Amino acid sequence: MASNLAPIPELYVSYESAQKLKAEAGNLASHDLTPRQICDLELLMNGGFNPLKGFLTEEDYDSVVETMRTKDGALWPMPVTLDVSEKFADTVELGQDIALRDQEGVILATMTVTDKWVPNKSREAEKVFGADDLAHPAVNYLHNHAGAVYLGGPITGIQQPVHYDFRARRDTPNELRAYFRKMGWRKIVAFQTRNPLHRAHQELTFRAAKEAQAKLLIHPVVGMTKPGDVDHFTRVRCYEAVLDKYPSSTTHLSLLNLAMRMAGPREALWHAIIRKNHGLTHFIVGRDHAGPGKNSQGEDFYGPYDAQELVRQHQEEVGIEMVDFKHMVYVQEKAQYYPIDEVPEGATVLNISGTELRRRLAEGLEIPEWFSFPEVVKELRRTKPPRAKQGFTVFFTGFSGSGKSTIANALMVKLMEMGGRPVTLLDGDIVRKNLSSELGFSKEHRDLNIRRIGYVASEITKNGGIAICAPIAPYAATRRAVREDVENFGAFIEVHVATSIEECEKRDRKGLYKLAREGKIKEFTGISDPYDVPENPELRVETEGTDVDNCAHQVILKLEQMGLIAG
User: Which residues carry out catalysis?
Assistant: 193-195
The residues near 366 (Cβ < 8 Å, ≥ 6 apart) are 360
**SS3 state at 157:** strand
Angle at 209 between CA 371 and CA 170, to 5 degrees: 85
**179/290 Cα distance (integer angstroms):** 27
Helix/strand/coil (H, E, C) string of 241-299? HHHHHCCCCCEEECEECCCCCCCCHHHHHHHHHHHHHCCCCEEEECCCCCCCCECCCCC
Give how far Cα 360 sits from Cα of 53, 202, 348, 481, Å. 46, 21, 21, 27
> Contact 397/497 with Cβ under 8 angstroms?
yes
**241/246 Cα distance (integer angstroms):** 11
- The pair phi, psi for residue 97, each rounded to 5°, is -90, 140
**253/192 Cα distance (integer angstroms):** 11
Residue 376: burial class (beta carbons within 10 Å; 0-12, 13-18, 19+): buried
**548/538 Cα distance (integer angstroms):** 19
Closest C-alpha among 413, 199, 192 to residue 323: 192
Closest C-alpha among 517, 518, 514 to residue 506: 514
Give how far Cα 368 sits from Cα of 240, 263, 293, 361, Å. 20, 32, 25, 12
**SS3 state at 337:** strand
> Contact 499/528 with Cβ under 8 angstroms?
no
**355/326 Cα distance (integer angstroms):** 19
**117/465 Cα distance (integer angstroms):** 44
